[in-house]
Amino acid sequence: MLAVGQGVNDHPPVILRPRFDGRGVEERLAVGFSTSDANTLNIFGDDYMAIVRSANVDGQVKVFGCIEVWRLNGGAGGGGIWELVSKVPQDLVNRVRKPYVAIMGCLEARDRIVRVILVSNFKGMWGTIWFSFDLVKGGAIAHPCIRVDSPLWKWIPIPETRMEGLNIAGITLSTGLKL
């Protein structure tokens, strides 16, 4: 559900339902919204959606194999259309993938950068993976003053904390805290 604004003249809350054309299994998109596809995690934020598609390894253990970023284009009232922006390159996914039993994430689009953070748990140990995607360099936003000379996707290494037994209910990004 998405609510925009707080005033009387603002749009009422809407439920977003992505619509996709019917592609074959070989071109199957990672969008789930189905109880039968427990290997798909949808993360929403700032008119974007990250889709993490995973595969079973052994019993409940999974690894993610595909991360996509989608943008909501269109008008208010739930009439928007989800458009694929980019996928994390497979070589980068292979470099940072690790097994998990539980996973959650958050997404933020700010200053022309989409940030996707995943927090996973495997055998009681928590791990954090942080990706960012440059919308300008990726062609999603045209801007004549910005040079295109670095990779579109970046992996931000997070030190291994070896946190164990942490009870975590969620994760978020905040720009309000000044240190």
Over residues 24-67, the pLDDT tens digits come to 444 444 444 444 467 889 998 888 999 999 999 988 899 999 99
> In the predicted model, is pLDDT for residue 112 greater than 60?
yes
Residue 125: the pLDDT is 84
Average pLDDT of the residues in 137-159? 60
Distances in Å between the Cα of 113 and the Cα atoms of 44, 61, 66, 85 are 15, 31, 19, 12
Q: Worst-scoring range by mean pLDDT, 90-104, 116-130, 144-158? A: 144-158
Domain chopping of the chain, boundaries: 38-139+146-156
Average pLDDT of the residues in 70-97? 80
> In the predicted model, is pLDDT for residue 19 greater than 60?
no
Residue found by looking up tokens 């720009």 in the block: 175
> In the predicted model, is pLDDT for residue 144 greater than 60?
no
> In the predicted model, is pLDDT for residue 179 greater than 70?
no
User: Is there a contact between 114 and 48 (Cβ–Cβ < 8 Å)?
Assistant: yes
Over residues 20-35, the pLDDT tens digits come to 444 444 444 444 444 4
3-state SS string for 33-100: CCCCCCCEEEEEECCEEEEEEEEEEECCEEEEEEEEEEEEECCCCCCCEEEEEEECCHHHHHHHCCCE
Residue 167 one-letter amino acid? N
Average pLDDT of the residues in 126-134? 89
pTM exceeds cut of 0.75: no
Collapsing DSSP to helix, strand or coil, 155 comes out as strand
Give the confidence band of 99 by pLDDT, cuts at 50, 70, 90. Answer: very high
pLDDT, averaged across the chain: 73
